[in-house]
Amino acid sequence: MHSKTILQAKEDLRQKKYSAVELTEAVYQRIDSVEPKVQAFVHLTRDIALKQAQTADQKLAAGEDAPLLGIPIALKDLICTQGTRTTCSSQILDQFVAPYDATVAGQLKSAGAVIVGKTNMDEFAMGSSTENAWHHPTMNPWNLERVPGGSSGGSAAAVSAHECLAALGSDTGGSIRQPANFCGVTGLKPTYGRVSRFGLVAFASSLDQIGPMTKTVADSALLMNVIGGKDPRDSTSADVARPDFMKALERDVSGLRMGIPKEYFTSGIDPEVERSVQEGIKTLESLGMKKVEVSLPHLQYAVATYYIIACAEASTNLSRYDGVKYGHRSQKTDNLLEMYMNTREEGFGEEVKRRIMLGTFVLSSGYYDAYYLKGQKVRTLIKQDFENAFEHCDVIVAPNAPVTAFKQKERIDDPLKMYLSDIYTISANLAGIPGISIPAGISRTDGMPVGLQLMSKHFDEESLIAVGHRFQQNTDHHLQQPSL
């Protein structure tokens, strides 16, 4: 039962092959079995989940229906869930219990979902390997000596290891797509503003976006129908009509133009990654899509631009953690200033401190124009690059990462090398466009999954879903399982 997709489980529940309680218990049995090795979760909500499953069974027995009725789903641990710890994998929020539901958490509950627990992540979503977590690192189910990617590594690993049927993650610079790529699952970053950020603990407010991590593109489409749409509680939520994403699954992709950005295929890419991506492009050509070369000339500045803007916003957003209102408070204090300093010194990890200091620097007097303002101007140029490219194509096809999942601790002491892990995903966040990672092969060198990244125009997730679903109908990469 635990290995089912959402759509398969929905049909099984409808036909009464098993109950929602039995499905939830099967998922927890799987968690009990593999979690000691994978460590995908920060905390589980077993009692709450079983009550939600019982309610789902009552509704199913009464003939009621809802999009996710009885489906076990996990949430990244920066999505507030009422009455449940929401820690961002940080010591500073270790005992924080959310007093309200994030909009997406409320939408999932209204749709009948069973929330099984909160997944591990890089602290405050700052990282690309889920090693910057205060509680523990998460392992890649395909090879326990490798990272699952980050920052949504716990969500990706949980879906890959069948510890839930789907999960929500967040993507600030690739944090859904890169771990989905590393763990061999599907991960969709919606257009900025498509999904409400209300109740998402902020890292970089102009970049963060919540999205689904699933076993198939079809499941992502179903989840997008639940979590997409305008939210009056989020001022950055776009007032754009939400389409029926499930209808995009029926679209024909023949005749669509796929743009291949030459800047993505450079000397730094692993040959096995390039092989899988090129084979994926050939598969799309066989479906009637037309290949055109496009250029994103400012891609080389994306990493530097991202870390200036993201760190500046992080510095501002994380200033609220001062030991006064909620979260950790240092006991080693003689006065107010010492309390502030000691609380932040004890509560934040090394990577979070690094980014706060970088962000404070680029916003400081005398450096604002040279760094932050210039970064915003380059961000505009990157956005214009995509707009120019989409005049010649419908979707852009590229790798998600230059390499497959790297080994634990391989890059933890080299921040620059770690930051370059996101070189292929960052630009979509800077431009605010949607992107999706879909499994596209297995490396013959190390046996690790390789993903294909698709990007499209603002609010055109339907094209990504149509192309991704058609790709999965004609390949079996998404059916490959880790030997866990």
Residue 92's domain comprises 6-258+392-479
pLDDT for position 384: 98
Residues 6+ away with beta carbon under 8 Å from 108: 68, 73, 75, 115, 168, 226, 227
Q: Residue 117's domain is classified under what CATH number?
A: 3.90.1300.10
The residue-averaged pLDDT of 386-406 equals 97
CB atoms < 10 A from the CB of 170, how many? 27
Per-residue pLDDT for 413 more than 90?
no
Neighbours of 29 (CB within 10 A): 12
CA angle 95, 99, 104 (to 5 degrees): 105
| Amino acid at residue number 149 | G
Identify any residues that bridge with 454 across adjacent strands, giving them in sequence order.
397, 436
On the question of pLDDT at 138 being above 90, the answer is yes
Which residues does the annotation mark as catalytic?
A: 76, 151, 175
Q: Is 228 inside any structural domain? A: yes
Per-residue pLDDT for 359 more than 80?
yes
CB contact set of 479 (below 8 Å; sequence gap of 6+): none
Q: Which of the residue ranges 112-121, 179-188, 257-266, 385-394 would you say has the lowest mean pLDDT?
A: 257-266
Please give the tally of structural domains in the chain. 1
* 242 in any annotated domain: yes
pLDDT of residue 232 exceeding 80:
yes
- Are the CB atoms for 213 and 159 separated by under 8 Å? yes
Evaluate whether residue 290 is within a structural domain. no
Residue 86, φ and ψ in degrees, nearest 5: -130, 100
**Does residue 145 have a pLDDT over 80?**
yes
- Write down the pLDDT at residue 333: 86
Cα gap 198→202, rounded to integer Å: 9
Q: Kindly report whether the peptide bond that precedes residue 463 is cis, defined as omega within 30 degrees of 0.
A: no
Is the pLDDT at 208 greater than 90? The verdict is: yes
Q: Mean pLDDT over residues 110-135, rounded?
A: 97
Asked if residue 347 is part of any domain, the answer here is no
171, 128 contact by CB (below 8 A):
no
pLDDT at 167: 98
- In angstroms, rounded to a whole number, what is the distance separating the alpha carbons of residues 40 and 118? 9
- Examine residue 175 and state whether it is found in any structural domain, yes or no: yes
pLDDT category at 13 given cuts 50, 70, 90 is: very high
Q: Is the pLDDT of residue 79 over 90?
A: yes
pLDDT of residue 414: 87
Is the pLDDT reported for residue 434 higher than 80? yes
pLDDT computed for residue 73 by the predictor:
98
Sign of the CA dihedral running 64, 68, 74, 78: negative
Per mean pLDDT, which range of 278-282, 361-365, 410-414 is the poorest?
410-414
- The number of CA neighbours under 13 Å toward the Cβ of 163 is 34
Q: Give the model confidence (pLDDT) of 271-302 as tens digits.
A: 999 999 999 999 999 999 999 999 999 999 99
DSSP class of 135: S
Question: Which DSSP letter does residue 256 get?
Answer: -
Whether 177 shows a pLDDT value over 90: the answer reads: yes
At 313, the pLDDT band (50, 70, 90 cuts) reads very high
Per-residue confidence (pLDDT) for residue 244, from 0 to 100: 98
Evaluate if residue 442 carries a pLDDT over 90: yes
Nearest by Cα to 89 from 126, 46, 36: 126
Is residue 267 over pLDDT 80?
A: no
pLDDT the model gives residue 419: 85
* Rounded distance between C-alpha atoms, residue 154 and residue 44, angstroms: 13
Confidence (pLDDT) at 75: 98
- 159 — pLDDT class (breaks 50, 70, 90): very high
What integer is the mean pLDDT of 139-148?
A: 98
Helical H segments across 185-301, by residue range = 217-227, 271-286
Is the residue at 302 inside a domain?
A: no
Give bridge partners of residue 167 from the DSSP assignment.
74, 213
Q: Which helix (H) or strand (E) holds 453?
A: strand 449-456
> What are the structure tokens assigned to 25, written together?
């218990």
Contact 457, 433 (CB under 8 A): yes
Instruction: Look at residue 104 and tell me if it is in a domain.
Output: yes
Q: Give the pLDDT of residue 444.
A: 97
Is residue 172 situated within a structural domain?
yes
